[in-house]
Amino acid sequence: MTEHGAFDKAQQPGDNWIADQYEKYGLGITPSLMEIEPVATELLSNRSTAISGAELVLNRRVDGNPDKEPVVLPLISTQGFTGEQRFGLLLMQRQIEENLRRENQD
């Protein structure tokens, strides 16, 4: 790994929807978070594209229903956060989701 560690690591799309999103935004088949960051940050800076940005960061489809996304939707819709701040918050959410999945598999 380089000095960026896991941020440089290529990641597999979480599903076909995410694979299509990678293609739509010109990210290739297995982009790293470093490659995703500028695209996602731009998308997260705009309310009309913020869900797409969140999907790229979380590597999963984001449901627009607040009952199904009680954490993610407020992160991307609350005014006052920049795209960069939303990206960082979503990275933390992604790690939480990955940890919960691992715990549930054990």
Q: Are 76 and 51 in contact (CB under 8 A)?
A: yes
Determine the pLDDT at residue 99.
94
Q: Are 54 and 75 in contact (CB under 8 A)?
A: yes
58/94 Cα distance (integer angstroms): 5
Angle at 18 between CA 31 and CA 3, to 5 degrees: 25
26/41 Cα distance (integer angstroms): 15
User: Predicted confidence band at 3 (pLDDT cuts at 50, 70, 90)?
Assistant: low
Q: Domain extents for the chain?
A: 5-105
Determine the pLDDT at residue 1.
43
Mind listing the pLDDT tens digit for each residue in 4-62? 667 888 989 999 999 999 999 999 999 999 999 999 999 999 999 999 999 999 999 99
Determine the pLDDT at residue 6.
72
Which two three-digit tokens encode residue 37? Answer: 């960051």
Determine the pLDDT at residue 91.
95
Determine the pLDDT at residue 71.
94
98/65 Cα distance (integer angstroms): 21
